Structure 1
Amino acid sequence: MTGGQKTTAGKKYVLIGFFFLILAAFLPGMKASAKEWPVAIKSCAIRRGSRDVVEVRYQKNSDRSGTDGNYYLFALGAWQMSLTNSMEPIDTVRQKSAGILRVDLKQNTKDSRLNKKFAVAVKKQNGAYELVSSFSYITNPEEVASYRYKFPTAVSKKGLQVNTEMISDAEDLGVRHSAVNIVLNDFLTEEWQQNSRYAYKFTFEGTTYWFSKAACAALEEKLLPMKKSNMIVTAILLMRGESKSLDMIAGGALRDGVYYYGLSTANERSVRKLSALMTFLAKRYARSGARYGRISNWVLGNEVENYGQYNYMGELSLAKYAKLYARSFRVVYNSIKSVYSNARIYISLSNCWNIKQPSGRSFTSRKTLEAFAASLKAEGEISWNLAFHPYPQPLTDPVFWDDLATNKSSTQFITMKNIGYLTDYLKRRYGRGVRVILSEQGFTSVSGGQENQELQAAAFAYAYYIAEFNDSIDAFILHRHVDNEDEVAQGLCLGLWSTSGDSVEWAGEKKKIWTVFRYIDTNQSRRVTNFALDILGVSSWSQLVDGFTWTRFTKMASIKTSDLQAVQDLEKPRSLKTWTEAYGVTVEEKGSTTVLTPKQGLNRNLFRGVGKAFDEPMNFSKRPEVYFRIKLSGTSAKRAEVKIRFYSGSHLYESRGKVTVGRETAVSANLSAWKYKNKVDKIQILVKPNGASAWNTEAQITIKDLQMGMTVG
């Protein structure tokens, strides 16, 4: 087992690859071996450095009699399975034992071949063309990408499905990864919206599209704060059943009980529209400057083995379903990778490995994955990845370590108990190139009708450590930030916060898991998780997690805290004004004074305030004292908590104190003892009234004379 939880030594895995090799021979459009065709396509790729030349390398396996002695290259649409009389070859070579056929890519023209599949044919004596090879798509669309920056990295794998109204809390928690749903329908427009007032004009492959400005603004309201917080963002691409989207829905038919639908590649219009939308999103959200926020990971669908609810394309066989999903996956892949070369594209699967969903209208995750991978490989292998949901089984029990999940190939479920089996299986079958993100899982704080926050926190700590020490896993994204009342009604209290009942998802009180989550990837990891060892019945984490070492956490991140102090006179003060970020407030600058107006309708437990990200890190070594005056009004609370934060990469220094509402108070923070004071890249000042007191409509927060300096004497 390479990383993850301990397993019993000597266990052997049962390989069933032979069965699937035989099965592949019967899948439509797929061949068990390229040698079944007279010609094998060995590669189909954009020539390196050319950006506009596609090279199809072939090898002759056998002769086809009665031909004119040439090989002809054809480009077909994704939906086309055979040659038609109207098709013309796009290149010709004399038949040899091996050779290369070449053609222009013609990217972003009406004749673009980016999403075409190529095949070799011969011309028979009657003048008709006959296919003599299987199909192959371009396998390296990244060769033409405009953006080629390195894939972003984070200091740890700690992630959360962030409630974006609580971005200040997410920063407090040190969230490194997050996920957002992108409902593709929202970007499509009705005819009356297809103008510059409501939509962005986007010309793609000779056709003009209009994509919704409102949808972009709503998404950017989430993405921009996440980018400013240095989170790596995963987008889950979903399609609802709406009349304006019928040409993008596989099968084109709506059905009751379906949440989301598969994407259509049934004709040229559908393929081009899907590719246009994905190219638009990639150009906007994968651009190097991250002007609108950044998306690095793209997941096509949600738990797609559960087709009856989450990826409906009709009542299909597994082979047909996998082929259609793989086809839409490839269009999404080619579109995004041709914009940003290092983007990662994922298939989404649930924990139901060898068992169908209770609804029955599903396949198993394993069979879906294997049929999907085989479909891709048969027509040009690309670097797909896996977004997995290893919830406990059942979801209402956080104690995943006693799940029925096993490390055998026959295991019904894959949970955090046996996640190492999954990553080892992927390495054996598909190589080390497949990356895994655990994009959704959670642990309830109520089990058997009883509240047990310690058990929830212990389950999270154990699961997180398993993921952190598994080298195939890149992110562990917890579901969810705040308990959701609809889930609570089902016995699922999965949040870091309880819900107050004021709305479906309204933060009430922090649970124990909040503190564990905040510190688990810092130098205080041991302190906040030691309690869990008794619950788990062991004396050290290394008894449970292969490769576990505390050294990893001393290098990740740190949090240091102090109390705000009464103001001292400063020497050589330097102004730090001009804010770049706002948290639940509107900002007005008046000389050396900043006036903040708290927005109404937001959670009462949230800190409000401002932040400033420096273009170049600031050195506070010679001026370690930071001074400011603050005054609050417009709340029934008599006291309020104030904190000023200093960030240096993943390291945080936080100074807190209490002030009296209605009175101007001068306070200071001293960074002298902080190791990272010489390289501060961001500061924040945040405020919250005591208790759950609200801000009224006349509320204001006034910050004056923010300065850095040194204490006199």
Structure 2
Amino acid sequence: MKLFKRKNIIPLCLASLFAAFAASVTADRIVTVYGQGAVLGTFSAAEVDSIAFGTTGTLFKLYNSSRYQLLLRSRSKVDSIVFSGEYDKSSYPEFNTTSLYHDMNVSYNEDSKVYSLSTTGGDPYIFTKTLTADLPSDSCVIAFEYRCPKGVSDLQVFFADPVSESNSARTSQIPATIGSEWATFRFNIKNYRELFGWGKKGDRLRLDFGSASGVDISIRHFRIRIMTDAEKEQLARADSLEKAKKTMAQNLTKYLSASYDSKITNVDVSFDTVTITGNCVGEGQFAVADVAPFEDVTETRKFEYTADIPTGEFTIKLPRKLKRSTLPNYDRAISKWAIVKVNEDGTHTLVSHARYADDVIAKYSAEKCEFKGKKGIAAGGGSKYIADFESLDVHSITQNIVLSTIISTTRGRGFTQPYYYGGRTYYINTGSVAGYDATLKAAQKKDIVVEAIILTPTGSGYTDPECTGGYYTMPNMTTALATNYYAASLDYLARRYSTGENGRIHHWIMHNEVDQGDTWTNMGSQPEMRFYDRYIKSMRLCYNIVRQYDQNASVLGSYTHTWYISGNEYSPRTMLEQNVQYSNAEGDFRWGIAYHPYPINLLRPEFWVNDRNYATFNNNAAYVTFYNPEVINAWILKKEHLYKDGTKRVLVFSEQGTNSPSYSETDLAKQAAGAAWIWKKLQKLDGIDAMQWHNWSDNRAEFGLRIGLRAYADGDYKDLDPKPVWYVWKAAGTENEDEVFAPYLKTIGISSWDGIVRTVK
């Protein structure tokens, strides 16, 4: 290892000292460069050939033997260089640049040792070559340096083989870089190595770089190395947090199934008072605790706001508004209430289930709007979309509402109109709101039911602190300020879209596909019970705000086409059963279901052939798709799943469509046949209120799918030309239905629609 000095700027004593260290370092040791308390770079000594300080002595440069710059920093940023006594146990797996990559262009520069990746589609990934020997047990940090001007939304690592979601882990986003400076990315895989038994000779990795095309990323020094002391401490803290998460999940499970002697029987919220009625059983001192959404009822040992109660039956009245934490005017209508025993040390022991408000006095009573038919459309915009309200005679639509486009905690960049909630001021983007108004007013004129999909983007002010990526985040409800911001957003929407003056929202779909939370409602890695408890809190918060303006609105959970897979605690059926548990324990509310019964393989339209083995006709079906909607229809109609007044809960199919892999006559016919099939089934299934065909038009960014009713420009099709499926959807429910549907019987291979509805066993 050599030391380069330019113009004798560096004192000889420094050169001599460095040379002495360098001479003692063998190629199998580790060189670590530190700066400002952080690791700037870790290298095998075999990689490092020389160090230079620039012509003025103000830079720090690390070179390999090819004179390629490994590290460049301002010299003032470098604190120390450590030549570790540890042997370099790093593995340096190479990327497979010959064939095992997808939706990207790949090249490798032998001189600079840099991989250049450029994504070209929605599923970009690359494999490493297989390990040539077993990894040392303590080699468990994937690390590399990179340049990436756009950044990557998230990195998913598959520990192959096999390549499966269950053998993978998602990391946080890869932040964008600026200019020519290299950044370092690290991902600790110690727990995943143990979980998946990965790291043996012949194993390999698959790295999935987000889902966007047009992203350029350069990578060098890709390796799997041992942990630093700081990383070991960080992992220990993370393991402690994981243990706490699992404990909370176990506590929630016990809580929901517990049978308490004490019980809160009713919570009534008037304009200025909360009245709590219940029965307290036991000896000692007891109190009613105000449990805010940002508090965890099973984990809190001392609640901030309590009121003493006697044993036996009781009724207590408390002020509705109060100063709480950072909120000058907290509204207790969004709290839940529990009975606790006051211990000698001042801590609290939970002795009842918590209960949300049974009644909240109305600020406004929106007109009730029923589904007048089952036909709907979704994910559209513009004049032609609005024209299709009439052309297709639709009775319902969905509308994505991205909260971060509407309201902000700070003024500026279009957010200028003040909005007050909880004693704090927020700012509305009136331009963005006007766009939503246009669609919702048009729907209102046609008496169309609108289901708003409430979305909170990852990276926005709503981002949960444990979020690790994905498109959208679980809303942050961990602090008073974060909860109030989210509540203010919902209050603004409920107030604006209840009167009909600006259009209406009739039902509220909370977030997207929570059973695939990593991608669509990210809260980081969580035990399902802890994740779902937060989801229920989000639904309850929305419900207790919306019901003040619209007493007929439902909040709907959003789920994929997966139904029940044994061992997968994130299965929708499991989650829906937890909805029932929460309603039984904490008081019922108007929740419903927004389901997405896509074919199992979204790309292939022939679900009537492909889905038979897994979309079966029983409650243990792995999937509910266009093939077997009878399963979820039967579930929603069961007595134990009805709302407390005995009425059926809302069940809509809010996102689904059959694909036309191309615009060939055959593919288009298969897509249209799928629409005819599901419509015929819908007419026989009373539990399903509506279905919104998604997408309204084909979208080039929709992961290679063409599931729309209208095309994009390709071949003989012009942009937004109607496809055959558009004519099927237009005819659905009209006197022309049988005539238009008839040709597709042959496509499916049946002679009649009469036998397609099956009995659920």
How far, CA to CA, are the matches of 1:294 and 1:190 in structure 2?
25
How far has the Cα of 1:55 moved from its partner? 3.5
Identity of aligned residues (%): 22
Structure 1 residue 322 corresponds to structure 2 residue 539: no
Which residue identity does 2:382 align to in structure 1? T
How far has the Cα of 1:426 moved from its partner? 3.1
Give the corresponding residue for 1:117: 336
Structure 1 residue 497 corresponds to structure 2 residue 715: no
How far, CA to CA, are the matches of 2:355 and 2:649 in structure 1?
20
Q: 2:310 aligns with which of 82, 94, 119?
A: 94
3-state DSSP of counterpart to 1:442:
coil
Q: 1:457 aligns with which of 662, 672, 687?
A: 672
Which residue identity does 1:27 align to in structure 2? Q
Give the corresponding residue for 1:41: 264
How far, CA to CA, are the matches of 2:720 and 2:366 in structure 1?
43
Give the corresponding residue for 1:72: 287
Give the corresponding residue for 2:208: none
How far, CA to CA, are the matches of 1:86 and 1:155 in structure 2?
48
Q: 2:684 aligns with which of 458, 469, 481?
A: 469
How far, CA to CA, are the matches of 1:356 and 1:499 in structure 2?
40
Q: 1:280 aligns with which of 470, 492, 501?
A: 492
The 1:33/1:112 distance shift into structure 2, 3 A limit, reads closer
Q: 2:551 aligns with which of 330, 341, 349?
A: 341
How far has the Cα of 1:411 moved from its partner? 1.8
Instruction: State whether residues 285 and 293 of structure 1, in contact with CA within 8 Å, keep that contact through their aligned partners in structure 2.
Output: yes
Structure 1 residue 507 corresponds to structure 2 residue 719: yes
3-state DSSP of counterpart to 1:312:
coil
The 1:303/1:123 distance shift into structure 2, 3 A limit, reads closer
Q: 1:199 aligns with which of 400, 407, 416?
A: 416
Instruction: State whether residues 144 and 338 of structure 1, in contact with CA within 8 Å, keep that contact through their aligned partners in structure 2.
Output: yes
When the two structures are superposed, what TM-score results if normalisation uses the length of structure 2? 0.60
The 1:440/1:496 distance shift into structure 2, 3 A limit, reads same
Structure 1 residue 532 corresponds to structure 2 residue 738: no
The 1:75/1:448 distance shift into structure 2, 3 A limit, reads same
Structure 1 residue 306 corresponds to structure 2 residue 523: no
The 1:35/1:456 distance shift into structure 2, 3 A limit, reads closer
Which residue identity does 2:356 align to in structure 1? I
How far, CA to CA, are the matches of 2:302 and 2:744 in structure 1?
70
For 1:92-171, what aligned pairs fall within 5 Å after superposition?
Answer: 92-96=308-312, 98-106=313-321, 110-123=329-342, 126=344, 128=346, 130-141=348-359, 143-166=361-384, 167-171=386-390
The 1:130/1:169 distance shift into structure 2, 3 A limit, reads closer
How far, CA to CA, are the matches of 1:135 and 1:481 in structure 2?
44
The 1:363/1:33 distance shift into structure 2, 3 A limit, reads closer
For 1:217-616, what aligned pairs fall within 5 Å after superposition?
Answer: 217-242=434-459, 245-246=460-461, 248-251=462-465, 253-255=467-469, 258-287=470-499, 290-355=500-565, 363-375=570-582, 377-402=584-609, 403-404=611-612, 405-428=615-638, 429-431=640-642, 433-446=648-661, 451-487=666-702, 490=704, 492-501=705-714, 507-545=719-757
How far, CA to CA, are the matches of 2:507 and 2:350 in structure 1?
37
Give the aligned CA root-mean-square deviation in angstroms. Answer: 3.4
Which residue identity does 1:58 align to in structure 2? G
How far has the Cα of 1:127 moved from its partner? 7.7
Instruction: State whether residues 371 and 689 of structure 2, in contact with CA within 8 Å, keep that contact through their aligned partners in structure 1.
Output: no
3-state DSSP of counterpart to 2:654:
strand
For residues 160-191 of structure 1, the C-alpha deviation after alignment (integer angstroms, 9 at most, x for no partner) is 44333312244222222111111111123363
The 1:117/1:30 distance shift into structure 2, 3 A limit, reads farther
- Larger RCO (alpha carbons 8 Å, 6+ apart): 1
Q: 1:213 aligns with which of 430, 434, 455?
A: 430
For residues 461-487 of structure 1, the C-alpha deviation after alignment (integer angstroms, 9 at most, x for no partner) is 110121233111111111122222344
How far, CA to CA, are the matches of 1:400 and 1:129 in structure 2?
57
Instruction: State whether residues 159 and 475 of structure 1, in contact with CA within 8 Å, keep that contact through their aligned partners in structure 2.
Output: no
The 1:506/1:207 distance shift into structure 2, 3 A limit, reads farther
How far, CA to CA, are the matches of 1:495 and 1:89 in structure 2?
54
How far has the Cα of 1:76 moved from its partner? 2.5
Give the corresponding residue for 2:251: 28
How far has the Cα of 1:24 moved from its partner? 13
Structure 1 residue 182 corresponds to structure 2 residue 401: yes
How far, CA to CA, are the matches of 2:306 and 2:679 in structure 1?
54
Instruction: State whether residues 25 and 31 of structure 1, in contact with CA within 8 Å, keep that contact through their aligned partners in structure 2.
Output: no
Give the corresponding residue for 1:637: none
Which residue identity does 2:437 align to in structure 1? E
How far has the Cα of 1:103 moved from its partner? 2.8
Which residue identity does 2:260 align to in structure 1? W
The 1:153/1:35 distance shift into structure 2, 3 A limit, reads closer
3-state DSSP of counterpart to 2:489:
helix
For 1:578-657, what aligned pairs fall within 5 Å after superposition?
Answer: none
How far, CA to CA, are the matches of 2:301 and 2:468 in structure 1?
31
How far, CA to CA, are the matches of 2:579 and 2:603 in structure 1?
31
3-state DSSP of counterpart to 1:74:
strand
Give the corresponding residue for 2:282: 63
How far, CA to CA, are the matches of 2:379 and 2:509 in structure 1?
14
The 1:292/1:26 distance shift into structure 2, 3 A limit, reads closer
Instruction: State whether residues 274 and 331 of structure 1, in contact with CA within 8 Å, keep that contact through their aligned partners in structure 2.
Output: no
3-state DSSP of counterpart to 2:338:
strand
The 1:26/1:109 distance shift into structure 2, 3 A limit, reads closer
3-state DSSP of counterpart to 1:237:
strand
How far has the Cα of 1:32 moved from its partner? 5.6
How far, CA to CA, are the matches of 2:257 and 2:608 in structure 1?
44
How far has the Cα of 1:229 moved from its partner? 3.2
The 1:395/1:58 distance shift into structure 2, 3 A limit, reads same
How far has the Cα of 1:427 moved from its partner? 3.1
The structure with more radius of gyration: 2
Q: Structure 2 regions of 5+ residues with no counterpart?
A: 1-245
Which residue identity does 2:650 align to in structure 1? R
The 1:365/1:85 distance shift into structure 2, 3 A limit, reads closer
How far, CA to CA, are the matches of 1:88 and 1:541 in structure 2?
61
When the two structures are superposed, what TM-score results if normalisation uses the length of structure 1? 0.64
For residues 417-474 of structure 1, the C-alpha deviation after alignment (integer angstroms, 9 at most, x for no partner) is 2111112123335225322100011112337987332322221011012123311111
How far, CA to CA, are the matches of 1:241 and 1:446 in structure 2?
30
The 1:169/1:380 distance shift into structure 2, 3 A limit, reads closer
How far has the Cα of 1:35 moved from its partner? 6.3
Which residue identity does 1:54 align to in structure 2? V
Q: Structure 1 regions of 5+ residues with no counterpart?
A: 1-22, 548-713
How far has the Cα of 1:252 moved from its partner? 5.5
How far, CA to CA, are the matches of 1:326 and 1:222 in structure 2?
29
Instruction: State whether residues 330 and 422 of structure 2, in contact with CA within 8 Å, keep that contact through their aligned partners in structure 1.
Output: yes
Which residue identity does 1:451 align to in structure 2? T
The 1:447/1:168 distance shift into structure 2, 3 A limit, reads closer
| More displaced stretch, 270-279 vs 523-532 | 523-532
3-state DSSP of counterpart to 1:272:
helix
Instruction: State whether residues 263 and 353 of structure 2, in contact with CA within 8 Å, keep that contact through their aligned partners in structure 1.
Output: no
How far, CA to CA, are the matches of 1:26 and 1:533 in structure 2?
49
Instruction: State whether residues 182 and 237 of structure 1, in contact with CA within 8 Å, keep that contact through their aligned partners in structure 2.
Output: yes
Instruction: State whether residues 282 and 336 of structure 1, in contact with CA within 8 Å, keep that contact through their aligned partners in structure 2.
Output: yes
How far, CA to CA, are the matches of 1:193 and 1:338 in structure 2?
30
